[in-house]
Amino acid sequence: MSLPIKQTPILKGKDAEKFLKEVNRDRTPEEKDQDIKNFKRAKKVYDSIGLNVLKSKPLESIGFYTLSDERAKNVSGTSPMKRAEMLVTGRCNFKCPYCRGFDNINADVGDIDFGIARETLGYWIDDKLENIRFSGGEPTLYDRLPDLVKQCKEGGIKRIAISSNGSRDFSVYQELIDAGVNDFSISLDACCASFGDKMAGVGGKWGKVAENIKKLSERTYVTVGIVLTEDNVDDLVDIVTFAHNLGVADIRIISAAQFNKLLNNCINIPQEILNAHPILKYRVDHIAEGINVRGMKDSDCKKCYIAQDDSVVAGNEKGEAFFFPCVIAMREGIAPIGKVGANMKKERLAWVEKFNTYENNTCRENCLDCIVQFNNKVESYQDSKKEIL
């Protein structure tokens, strides 16, 4: 961030004389007090900018393309939607032991009503949404997903992402690419078939997942998500190396919400692999400094500013759909902000105002490093704006 520099005008003639008289005269005690106050205020602004904004890494350098310092600087009650996520179904062909269900939305299987899904996308598109993610459950089991993707593409959404377990026939993914998908996040929790079966809770899929990751990486932007539990944490370096060799753009390591330990052994990941993947490097650098992927400190911002221009929607088969501030909130049992409708933006803003994230166990223990950093940056920018005014 650069602050505007006030240019000193070049003074001539009478103006120069007046100016010299002014600077040479004795300052009154009140003026001296004011000088000290001004100095202290300037120092506070400098400290907040210098320590919290200028010295921390720009958000755009950490690899999550939806996050940037520009977004942190501009997010407000009137800024357009930057990112959204729709959980189209709770159904899945895997049974990963760590996976949470859809208990939070009163769902049997969590298939969002197609009409409500389209209506939700309509609200977001009207609010100039830039990035969307479809997830679940396994979103590729939702038959009309390609139609939703097409609506996004026609609505001008730039980045259309799918989170998938990667196990479906390649033609399913090709159809989604043809409809407009340009980002896949595929889960990969093991580097061999027998362990892959254990982590997926079903047999015989791991080879297909690896093959699909490789093929998709040749066609579009692909990241791999590795969820670590006590079962696979010792294989972390091998799984990362395996994913790297499949040609992926980036690798997201994360402890399962139930496990939530510092992934110390990631410091053994070879440097050339870290250099090839910014998100992975960001996480490993943080962990090396003792900062967990999940969790907030008392000194972190206690407001969830990201919910001003970000939202997660999930629906049930009774025709209801709910919106949440983030996917962790949805999966870990934070109550929805409200029901999908024209008033969502207003309700999100009111929620941001009143919700103290540090007082909430789920946020305090599970919020992700990059989101904590984003919220901290927003707060720093807001503080520095207030000080300057």
Ligand X SMILES: C[S@@+](CC[C@H](N)C(=O)[O-])C[C@H]1O[C@@H](n2cnc3c(N)ncnc32)[C@H](O)[C@@H]1O
Q: Under the rule (CB under 6 A), what is the footprint of ligand SF4?
A: 92, 94-96, 99, 136-138, 165, 187, 304, 306, 325-326, 328-329, 357, 363, 366-367, 371
The region of 22-30, 66-74, 206-214, 256-264 touching ligand X under the rule CB under 6 A is 256-264
Of ligand X, ligand SF4, none, which one does residue 328 interact with (CB within 5 to 8 Å by kind)?
ligand SF4
For the record, the structure tokens of 13 come out as 């003639």
Q: Report phi then psi at 161, rounded to 5.
A: -115, 150
Of ligand X, ligand SF4, none, which one does residue 384 interact with (CB within 5 to 8 Å by kind)?
none
Task: Please report the beta strands in 141-217, taking only residues with DSSP state E, as ranges in sequence order.
Answer: 159-164, 183-187
CA 356 to chain centroid, in Å, comes to 19
Q: Interface with ligand X includes 256 (CB under 6 A)?
A: yes
Q: Judged by CB, which is closer to ligand SF4: 274, or 371? A: 371
For the record, the structure tokens of 146 come out as 């390609």
Min dist CB 3 to ligand SF4, Å, is 29
Min dist CB 217 to ligand SF4, Å, is 19
Q: Interface with ligand X includes 257 (CB under 6 A)?
A: yes
Question: Quick one: which H or E segment has residue 223?
Answer: strand 221-228
Out of 135, 167, 360, 384, name the contact with ligand X by CB under 6 A.
135
Min dist CB 178 to ligand SF4, Å, is 23
For the record, the structure tokens of 371 come out as 């989101």
Out of 91, 100, 198, 214, name the contact with ligand X by CB under 6 A.
100
Q: Interface with ligand X includes 98 (CB under 6 A)?
A: yes
Min dist CB 162 to ligand X, Å, is 8
Rounded Cα distance between 386 and 389, Å, is: 5
Of ligand X, ligand SF4, none, which one does residue 329 interact with (CB within 5 to 8 Å by kind)?
ligand SF4
Rounded Cα distance between 48 and 382, Å, is: 10
The region of 17-25, 66-74, 98-106, 348-356 touching ligand X under the rule CB under 6 A is 98-106
* Residue with token string 């005690």: 29
Q: Interface with ligand X includes 164 (CB under 6 A)?
A: yes
Q: Judged by CB, which is closer to ligand X: 100, or 339? A: 100
Decide if 278 contacts 250 (C-beta within 8 A).
Answer: yes
Q: 250: Cβ–Cβ under 8 A, 6 or more apart, which residues?
A: 63, 223, 224, 277, 278, 279, 280
Q: Judged by CB, which is closer to ligand SF4: 274, or 282? A: 282
The region of 58-66, 135-143, 274-282, 342-350 touching ligand X under the rule CB under 6 A is 135-143
Of ligand SF4, ligand X, none, which one does residue 135 interact with (CB within 5 to 8 Å by kind)?
ligand X
Site residue total, ligand X (CB under 6 A): 17
Q: Judged by CB, which is closer to ligand SF4: 273, or 368? A: 368
- Count how many Cα atoms sit within 13 Å of the Cα of residue 111 in the half-sphere of its side chain: 13
Decide if 375 contacts 309 (C-beta within 8 A).
Answer: no
Neighbour count for residue 221 (Cβ, 10 Å): 17
Q: 321: Cβ–Cβ under 8 A, 6 or more apart, which residues?
A: 112, 113, 116, 117, 120, 313, 314, 315, 339, 340
Of ligand SF4, ligand X, none, which one does residue 326 interact with (CB within 5 to 8 Å by kind)?
ligand SF4
Decide if 339 contacts 298 (C-beta within 8 A).
Answer: no
Rounded Cα distance between 377 and 366, Å, is: 19
Of ligand X, ligand SF4, none, which one does residue 370 interact with (CB within 5 to 8 Å by kind)?
none
**232 exposure class (CB count in 10 Å sphere: 0-12, 13-18, 19+):** buried
Min dist CB 166 to ligand X, Å, is 8
Q: 249: Cβ–Cβ under 8 A, 6 or more apart, which residues?
A: 217, 221, 222, 223, 277
Q: Judged by CB, which is closer to ligand X: 72, or 293? A: 293
Residues making contact with ligand X (CB under 6 A): 92, 98-100, 135-136, 138, 163-165, 187, 225, 227, 254, 256-258
